[in-house]
Amino acid sequence: MLFWIIATALVCVLASAFGLVLMRRPAQAGASAAEHDMRVYRDQLQDLERDVARGVMAADDATRMRVEIARRMLTADRMIRTGQGPGLAAGAAPRATSWLALAAVVLVLTGGVGAYLRLGAPGYADQPLRDRLAAADALYRSRPTQDMAEQRAAATRPAAPDADPRFLDLMRTLRATLAQRPDDETGLALLARNEMILGNFHAGWQAQVRLITAKGDRVEAEDYARLGEDMTIAAGGLVTPEAEDIFAKALSLDIRNGRARYYMGLLMAQNGRGDRAFVAWDALLRAGPADAPWIAPIRQNITALAWLAGVQDYTPPNAPASTAAVDFSAAQGLSPEDRTRMIRSMVDGLAARLTDQGGPPDDWARLIAALRVLGETDRAARITAEARGIFANDPEALRRIDTAFSAPSGAIAPQEPTP
């Protein structure tokens, strides 16, 4: 309310000031100027007499100055008596013009108020830095727990696509085997990945917890980073306090772990600290590699974060190229046997890398299409389900993945540019 009182008062004062200037009739401007000149001339005569009395001016010079001042006084007196002078010589502005100018002033002032009401934020509280930091801290501390976030995400998450019955049979066998061999690290790794593929996100990250427990002292930073990622996916993309602790453990083992650094930057962005998220993600972009799974989402958001961080004219850097890039078009000119052998070699390498490190949707599409070329339709279906789970929130990525799976089995994966 105080803002509107002050703003209204300022508008009224400005409008009144402009109105008085525009509407004032300068009929006495010339006479007032001449009267002012008369007062100046009288003062000059008094100063002249004082100078003569002190002996600082010669009598002849004083006489000449008296004559000149007297001449000017006569001229000013004539202007006062006749009502002539510089002020009236210019003439008064026409009344219609004055009213038009006054209307323009009122229009500008009221238009400014109207524009603010439409485009501004009336009633919006001040946002000093201290209050913004306090709000970000409150948002950070009020995050839902992992269980709460998973419940909210499950209520809005679309149903997972139906899986291949044979794949489901294999999963039941895997679960039964691990019930007998709970410390089987290979089985636990497979269980964690495949539960996530099926959309059983809670079971997926729980299996990853069992894997970390089984590894004991041999646990690595990437194990914790994957656990935190699985927990974040289960929570609908929100980095919960529990997931934050997991990412912190990963970074304590390897401060350079890209997956954990990405999600810690995401945590900052989700809680009102886009400035800190920008610093973290910009460093990840510069570190690369270009085919790391976090590079594409960073590029989609880094410009907005740069603005929040106060960085002007920011240009995202090019991430270092990956040495593991695969170009399936190199197999086009080979014989069918050599072509199959070459694709098989590249598929094995690409599949291993995507399993360990992840990758952009184009690499997943190439892997799926290559598996169909090799006739491994079931495996291609499982990879497609996994990729759809990873890129569930990216419609363009899902389109590329689905196109690769539905393409004719004799076609090489489409050569679309990678990030």
d(CA 193, CA 383): 11
Banded model confidence at residue 73, pLDDT cuts 50, 70, 90: confident
CB–CB of 105/18 below 8 Å? Answer: yes
Q: What is the pLDDT of residue 88?
A: 43
User: In 3-state terms, the chain is what percent helix, strand and coil (to 5)?
Assistant: 75, 0, 25
Residue 181 is classified by DSSP as -
Q: How far is CA 236 from the centre of its chain?
A: 21
CB–CB of 3/125 below 8 Å? Answer: no
Task: Give percent of the chain above pLDDT 90.
Answer: 31
Q: Comparing 89-103, 156-170, 282-296, which segment has the lowest mean pLDDT?
A: 89-103
Q: What is the pLDDT of residue 90?
A: 46
Give the number of other Cβ atoms within 10 Å of residue 419's Cβ.
17
Helical ranges in 120-237 per DSSP H: 129-141, 146-156, 165-180, 185-198, 201-215, 221-234
Tokens of 9: 């008062």
Instruction: Verify cis geometry, omega within 30 degrees of 0, for the bond prior to 128.
Output: no
Q: What is the pLDDT of residue 210?
A: 96
Half-sphere exposure for 230 (CA within 13 Å, toward CB): 27
Task: Kindly report the pTM of this predicted structure.
Answer: 0.55
> For residue range 355-407, what is the model confidence (pLDDT) as tens digits?
777 788 888 888 887 777 677 777 888 888 888 888 877 877 887 787 777 65
> For residue range 233-287, what is the model confidence (pLDDT) as tens digits?
999 999 999 999 999 999 999 999 999 999 999 999 999 998 999 999 999 999 8
